[in-house]
Structure formats: C-alpha cells, structure tokens
A and B are shown apart, each in its own frame.
Chain A
C-alpha cells in the first residue's frame, strides 16, 4: 500500500531555500559548477522563466492606445460640457421665474421705498451690496490665478 506522507517544515524550508538560491545565482549569472544537482535543475527552470515571451505587443501599441483613449474621452467630455450648459440655462430660467414671482408678490411693499432711496442717492443695504461685490471680485481673481499656478 502506498502511504504518502506530508513533508515536514524543515524539508519544505530546505527546498524553498534551494529554489531561491538557484534564482539568485541565475540572476547574478554565477557559475553553476559548484551547485548541487537539485539547485542546478532549479537554475535551469529559473533561466527558462526569465526568458521574455516570444509574442510581443505591436511597436506602436502605446501610441495607438493613447489615440484611442483620447478619442473615447472627447465625446464624454463634450457630453459633460453640454449637460453642464443645459443645467446652467435651466437654473438661470428657474431663478428668473422665482425672481419674477417674488417681485409680483412682495414688490408693492418695497419697490416704492427702493425708488425713493435711489432718488436720494442712497442704496438700501449698502454694506451687503459691497460684500456681494467683494465675493464676486474674489471669485474672478481666483479663476485668473489658477491657470498661472497650473502652468
């Protein structure tokens, strides 16, 4: 009866060491004469495994893949830009409608006061207006600075 047994840790460790030793010797291109028969067999294996595949990628593979990636990305970027533009138009439309509704509802209360203030040369909520202008200015300045930083 064939009673096969599991290898013990020492045997496995010794064999792993032989495999790794053969690989290291082969990488360094050292003479194999002094190596044991088992190590020499592993060196032959390592030598075969270090051979690059016979089949290769085409020489212009990188150029072709880059061109394909750029072609695939362009319509997506265009679609994103179109979507963003439509979204912006929609939001401006909604904002206009809301503004018209607010003026129609509450305009009777504050439009006379506003026209009176403008006639006197003073705007209501001047400080808030300056704050708004400062925010818009900062936003425009940031947009101008970003391309210079990325250059």
Chain B
C-alpha cells in the first residue's frame, strides 16, 4: 500500500515519468480484462488507453480503500462494460444447473495430460471453447487463472459477490472439462 501511495502522490504532483510508470505497472491487468471482455484486439487497445486516461483524470478521487491494482482494474472493467452496452452485446448468459449432474457423473477414465497438451487439435478445440465463452465468464477465468487474483480482489474489480464468482468459475470449468471428454465418435 505504501508503494501505491508513493506512486499516486508522484502522479498527482506531476512528477516526470510517474504516470508512465503507473501505466507500465498495470497495463497487463487492464489488457487482460479488456481483451477478454471485448475480444477484438483493436477495440481492446483503444479501450485500454481510454481506461488509463480516465485513471489519470480521476486519480485524485482514489481513497486507498482498496489496492491501486483493484481500483485501476475496476476502471478498466467499467470501460469494457460500457463498450459492451453500446454494442448491445450480452455480458453473460444464464446457465441452468439442471444438466450439471450429468456433467459431474460423466468422467471417462484414462487421460494423459502431457499427450493431450502436445496434441495441437486438442489445444485448438480448447482455446476455441474458451474464446466462445460469454465475456463475463472469459474475464473471470482470466483474472483467476492468468492474473492469479484472489476471489476477493476479483469481486472488487467486477462488483460481483464472491459466491457468484465461484459459481461462474465452477460451472464454466465444468463445461470446459466436458469438451475434453471423449465423444461417441472418438470413443468408437
């Protein structure tokens, strides 16, 4: 928190290079959030710039109630949400729990992790399935797995309750795992 405070003070005092340092420090997180939310790299780049310009304008309102990382992540997330609203794109899709029992029971034996990882077709299918997820689910998975943020911090960024995030993570991973189960064609 002290490092956050020092950096914020330097940016607010217009110290040379301070804002550039802040951007370099947090651009990775903002990029992951926005790229996962809007998917189009060109749009994500513009929104990332917009998010940091907004951070620059409103940094004097930051009250150290959360980590600077979460605060900046929240700004990026809200910029991404507004873009989705303008494009009339849905953030998430509701998934029923009724068919989850079948998914939980349907686990085939025999799976070689390293062989599957080496198989480019399996990797391609998996990445395609991840890309096809709704924006919210994609973003939550990325924040949790790639950025390794704890659930409470993801809650701070997205404004969702921790249990809601857990539920999204659980269901999305369960459905993605299903894609790795052998189909009737491959089993035959």
Binding site for B on A (CB under 8 A): 4-7, 11-12, 15-16, 19, 23, 27, 32, 35, 37-38, 40-53, 55-58, 61-66, 68-70, 72-73, 150
Contacts and interface: CB of A to CB of B under 8 A. Distances in A.
Contacts, number: 123
Contact of A62 (B27, B53, B127, B148): B27
A40 B20 contact: no
Q: Is the interface of A mostly helix, strand, loop or mixed?
A: helix
B176 A45 contact: yes
Contact of A37 (B21, B24, B109): B109
A23 B98 contact: no
B145 A49 contact: yes
B113 A44 contact: yes
B111 A69 contact: no
B167 to A, nearest CB: 9
Contacts of A69: 19, 52-53, 56
Contact of A7 (B52, B104, B176): B104
Interface stretch (B41-49, B71-79, B83-91, B153-161): B41-49
A42 B20 contact: no
B113 A40 contact: yes
Contacts of B97: 6-7
7 contacts: A4-B101, A40-B112, A49-B142, A55-B35, A57-B48, A68-B53, A69-B53
Interface residues of B, number: 56
Contacts of A70: 19
B111 A45 contact: no
Shortest 5 CB-CB contacts between residues of A and residues of B: A49-B145, A66-B20, A62-B23, A55-B41, A37-B111
Q: Which of A6, A51, A58, A69 gathers the greatest number of chain B CB atoms within 10 Å?
A: A69
Contact of B130 (A5, A48, A66, A73): A48
Q: Is the interface of B mostly helix, strand, loop or mixed?
A: helix
B116 A72 contact: no
B52 A65 contact: yes
Contacts of A52: 146
Nearest to B17: A66
Given A32-B113, A37-B111, A45 B142 contact: no
B108 interface: yes
Contacts of B110: 37
A88 B31 CA distance: 45
B107 interface: yes
B6 interface: no
A57 B170 contact: no
Given A55-B35, A68-B53, A45 B180 contact: yes
Nearest to A14: B104
Contact of A42 (B31, B49, B142, B173): B173
Nearest to B110: A37
Contact of B117 (A37, A44, A49, A57): A44
A70 B16 CA distance: 10
Contacts of B109: 37
B27 to A, nearest CB: 6
A38 to B, nearest CB: 4
A27 B23 CA distance: 27
